[in-house]
Amino acid sequence: MSTALPLQAAHLSKAYQGHPALRDVSLSLMPGERVALLGPNGAGKSTLMQLLTGLFVPDSGEIQILGHDLRTSAPRALAHLGVVFQQPALDLDLSVQANLRFHTDLHGLPRALADARIEEGLSQLGLMEQLLKPCRALSGGNRRKIELVRALLHRPAVLLMDEATVGLDPASRVQLLQAVEDLQREHGVATLWATHLVEEVERADRVVVLHKGVMRHEGRVASLLADTGQATVQEAFLSLTRA
What residue ranges of the chain have pLDDT lower than 70?
A: 1-3, 243
Q: What is the pLDDT of residue 101?
A: 97
Q: What is the pLDDT of residue 118?
A: 97
Which amino acid is it at 108? G
| Neighbour-count burial for 124-158, b at 16+ CB within 10 Å, e otherwise | bbebeebbeebbeebeebbbbbbbbbbbbbbebbb
Helix (H) or strand (E) holding 142: helix 140-152
Q: What is the pLDDT of residue 33?
A: 92
Q: How many CB atoms lie within 10 A of CB 105?
A: 11
What is d(CA 146, CA 164) in angstroms, rounded to the nearest whole number? 12
3-class DSSP string for 172-226: HHHHHHHHHHHHHHHHCCEEEEEECCHHHCCCCCEEEEEECCEEEEEECHHHHHH
145 closest CA partner among 169, 173, 117: 173
Q: In CATH, which of 2.40.30.10, 3.40.50.720, 3.40.50.300, 2.30.40.10 is domain 7-91+158-241?
A: 3.40.50.300
Q: What is the pLDDT of residue 243?
A: 57
Q: What is the pLDDT of residue 1?
A: 45
